[in-house]
Amino acid sequence: MSSPQNATMTLAVAQGKDRDRREPNAIVGWWSRNWHPVVFVVAVLALWWVATALKWVQPFIIPSPADTWSAFADNFAYLMQHTWVTTYETVIGFVIAVVVGLFVAVVMVYSKGLEQTLYPVILFAQVIPKIAIAPLFVVWLGFGAEPKILVAVLMAFFPVVISGLAGLRTVDPEILQLASTMGAGKFKTFLKVRLPASLPELLSGLKVAATLAVTGAVVGEFVGANEGLGYVILQANGNLDTAMLFAALIIMSLMGVILFGIIQIAEKFLIPWHASKRDVASATVRL
C-alpha cells in the first residue's frame, strides 16, 4: 500500500506533466486565435515599406517606416513628454465619463420621468460635433488640461450611458420579482442582480468609450494647446514633417489599443461566467 506522501508526489508529478503538455497547446491556441490580425499588420507594414522603397508615393506624403522610426527614436523624450500629457487627459476624462455615465444610466433605469427628460438632451449633445464646441471650452476654461478633459468626457460619455442603460435592463423581470419576494431592497438588488447582469453590455461600451476618450483629448489639443500629441501633430503638419506626424499618430493609436486591452483583460476577471468567455475557454481546452 502506498503512503499518502507517495500518492501526493505521484499526483504532483502527473499534474506537472499535464501542465507541460498543455503549454505548447496554449501557444498554438493563442496563435490560432490571433494569427489573422498579426498577419494583417505584417502585410500592411510590408506594403508600406514597398510603397515607399519603390517611390510609389513621395516621402512628404507618406514617410518610410525607417524615417518614421528615426523620428520616434530621435525625439523619444519629446514624444514621451507629450504622450504623458495626452494620457493624463484621456484617463481622467474616461474615468469621469464612466462615473457620471453609469450614474445617469442608473437614474434613468429607476425613473421613467427622468429618462424621458434626460435622454433627448443626451442625444442632442452627442450629435453636436465636438470640434465645433471645443473652442468654447477653451474660452471658458482656458488653455490648461480642463477643456481637453471635458472634450474627452463628452466623447466617452454617450457609449457609457447607452451600454449601461441597455445592460441594466437585460435583467429578467422574474428575477427582480424573486429578489423582491426574498426581501432584497433596491440597493441590494442593484448590487447583487442588476449590476452583475449589466457588466457584459457595460464593458463593451467601455471599450468603445476608451478609444473615443483618446480622440476627444487629441481633438481638444487641436483647438488650443501647447503640449500633448495633438499639439505635436499640428506642429508636424505645419512643418510638413510627416515622419513625426506618423510617429505621433502611431503612439496615439497604441494608447487606444492599450486602454481597449486593459478593459478586455478586466472582462476575463469580472465576467468569467459569460457565454463568450466560456466559449473561449472551451476552445482552448479542445486545442
pLDDT of residue 25: 65
**Angle ∠(200,202,203) on CA atoms, nearest 5:** 70
Which pLDDT band holds residue 7 (cuts at 50, 70, 90)? very low
Task: Collapse the DSSP code of 54 into the 3-class scheme (helix H, G, I; strand E, B; otherwise coil) and give the result.
Answer: coil
At 24, phi and psi to the nearest 5?
-60, -35
Alpha-carbon gap, residue 264 to 213, rounded angstroms: 16
pLDDT of residue 284: 44
Q: Which three cell numbers stand for residue 192?
A: 447583487
Mean pLDDT over the full length of the chain: 82
Can you say whether the dihedral through the CA atoms of 19, 20, 23, 24 is positive or negative? negative
Residue 18 pLDDT more than 60? no
pLDDT for 243-254, tens place per residue? 999 999 999 999
Q: How large is the average pLDDT for residues 263-275?
A: 82
pLDDT of residue 82: 94
Q: Which three cell numbers stand for residue 128?
A: 453636436
Based on the number of CB atoms within 10 Å of its own CB, is 24 exposed (0-12), middle (13-18) or buried (19 or more)?
exposed
pLDDT for 106-129, tens place per residue? 999 888 888 888 888 888 888 888
Alpha-carbon gap, residue 44 to 40, rounded angstroms: 6
